[in-house]
Structure 1
Amino acid sequence: MPIKAILTDIEGTTSAVSFVFDVLFPYAQKHLPDFLRNRATEPAVATQLEAARRESGEPDADIERVVEILLGWIAADRKATSLKALQGMVWAEGYRAGQLKGHVYPDAVAALRRWHEQGYALYVYSSGSVQAQRLIFGCAEAGDLTPLFSGYFDTSIGHKREVESYAQIAVSIGLPAGEVLFLSDVVEELDAARKAGMHTCGLVREGASLTGHQAVASFDAIDPAGY
């Protein structure tokens, strides 16, 4: 079956890992405490604070304790959906203020534009929230890339190393898994996508190896028609 859709990871794939760890995480760590103190009663924020309390097992934690918990999760790079949502809100303010610009590799920008023009449906699957995904691509250094994408997926559909997550994404896209090409820099994610029936291609920008999968150093080397 020919490829009709391309599903891509962000961190280490379309964008530098250093952007997340050296720019986004420190920004959230610096601005999250005051953001939560000032906006804790807003419904969208309050919902995520309650989710964080449940996940931490501290349902009665006051705002200062929740701040402490969330900062600890940031330091540990914990993939908590509530944390990702709150980080996304903080980043949104940073992007709107012009303090943040999304990093997307030039080769990824060129390929995504080319594939869109060729008629491939493009989707994103990242552990970062959908909001954060839209911000990276919508406020990218290369301009607004969001018109290129047909949809976004985060861990609310399932974790990235679980086969069922990719099966659910294929259902959501409305295509057989065999018509989807998944791009990532993590072998366990590629393994899960392949077991779900997707085609895979690994990105090895830092020279790592991805055992058992075709791997390339740049989006320039990916030809969806070759799968």
Structure 2
Amino acid sequence: MTGHRERAACVVLDIEGTTSATGYVVEVLYPYSRARFGALLTERADHPEVRRAVAAVRAELGEPAAGPARIEAVLAGWLAEDRKATPLKSLQGLLWSEGFARGELVAHFYPDVPPALRRWRAAGLDLHVYSSGSVAAQRAWFGHAAGGSLLELVGRCYDTENAGPKLEADSYRRIADDLGLPGERILFLSDRAGELDAARAAGWRAVGVRRPGEPHYRAGVGDHPAVRDFSALTVRPPAVVG
């Protein structure tokens, strides 16, 4: 892999394996939420987000009367499978946001990421996020980086609830419509070939990020251009015509 250059009006960022270590999410954030699901479901059942997530789990199971213990067991199972289920991500996002706010959690970013994000913003690019984690979790994540908040660099956040599954081209079309941009002016960065394929099918530009040690590193990124990290990627706004 060598350096790569792109022109785009904005960059849409994946998180796990792209800006941040998947290991941190799995080894720190997942246990944090797993340990707190029970109390959340029993003590805060009237919270609108909890109520909505519980209803979604019951609908998924076809068990309208499923109680807190059953819901907690299902969430734990989905977590063990690393299933990208929207109600699971919503409840995780609620718990993580509170954990970040209390200083119990600090987000991990690879060291090449913050300077690249600042460089791209200074060049006039808009930066957005599309992750399977909830919008609340994304904003908490960028707002609590170890070296200081990066949230001011990020515009819109998209998840599987407001955009759709990350392996479906229609999800990327929805994001492009929301941004008011044609696909060819949007650059998507991810470590997963399937996500890059879906973005390209929607007309987006797509570049793979291949970091050794990440779960999808060996699988590669198909026929997409790839960089080892953000320092190897140069992104500039589209050339002005006329």
Q: Residue 8 and residue 199 in structure 1: after superposition, are their counterparts in 2 closer, same or farther (change >3 A)?
A: same
Post-superposition CA distance 1:27-67 (Å, at most 9, x none): 11111111221111222211211111111221110111111
Higher relative contact order (CA 8 A, sep 6+): 2
Q: Which of these residues, 164, 184, 187, is aligned with residue 193 of structure 2?
A: 187
Provide structure 1 residue ranges, at least 5 long, that are not aligned to the other structure: none
- Does residue 171 of structure 1 match 2:182? no
The question of whether the paired residues in 2 share the 8 Å contact of 1:104 and 1:142 is answered with no
1:225 to 217, 236, 240: 236
Q: In the alignment, is residue 144 of structure 1 matched against residue 149 of structure 2?
A: yes
| Pick aligned residue for 1:124 from 125, 129, 133 | 129
Instruction: Answer 1 or 2: which has greater helix percent.
Output: 1
Q: Please give the alpha-carbon distance, in whole angstroms, between the structure 2 residues aligned to 1:219 and 1:210.
A: 16
TM-score, structure 1 normalization: 0.96
Q: Equivalents in 2 of 1:101, 1:223: separation in Å?
A: 28
User: Secondary structure at 2:127's aligned position in 1?
Assistant: strand
Q: Which residue of 2 aligns with 1:68?
A: 73
2:47 and 2:12 mapped to 1: Cα distance? 34
Contact persistence 2:49–2:90 (CA under 8 A) = no
Whole-angstrom distance in 1 between the partners of 2:17 and 2:146: 17
Q: In structure 2, what is the Cα distance between the partners aligned to 1:190 and 1:101? A: 28
Query: 1:2 offset after TM fit, Å?
Result: 4.2
Match of 1:46 in 2: 51
Larger mean CA deviation between 109-118 and 203-212 belongs to: 203-212
Secondary structure in 2 aligned to 1:143?
Answer: coil
TM value normalised by structure 2: 0.90
Give the root-mean-square deviation of aligned CA atoms. 1.5
Distance in 1 (CA, whole Å) between partners of 2:35 and 2:211 is: 29
**Deviation string, structure 1 residues 139-179 (Cα, Å, up to 9, x no partner):** 11121111111100001211111111111111111111000
Structure 2 runs not aligned, ≥5 long: 1-5
| Pairing 1:158–2:169 present | no
Matched, 1:105 2:114: no
Amino-acid identity (%)? 46
Please report how far the alpha carbon of residue 196 of structure 1 lies from its aligned counterpart in structure 2 after TM superposition: 0.9
Other structure's SS at 2:97 match: helix
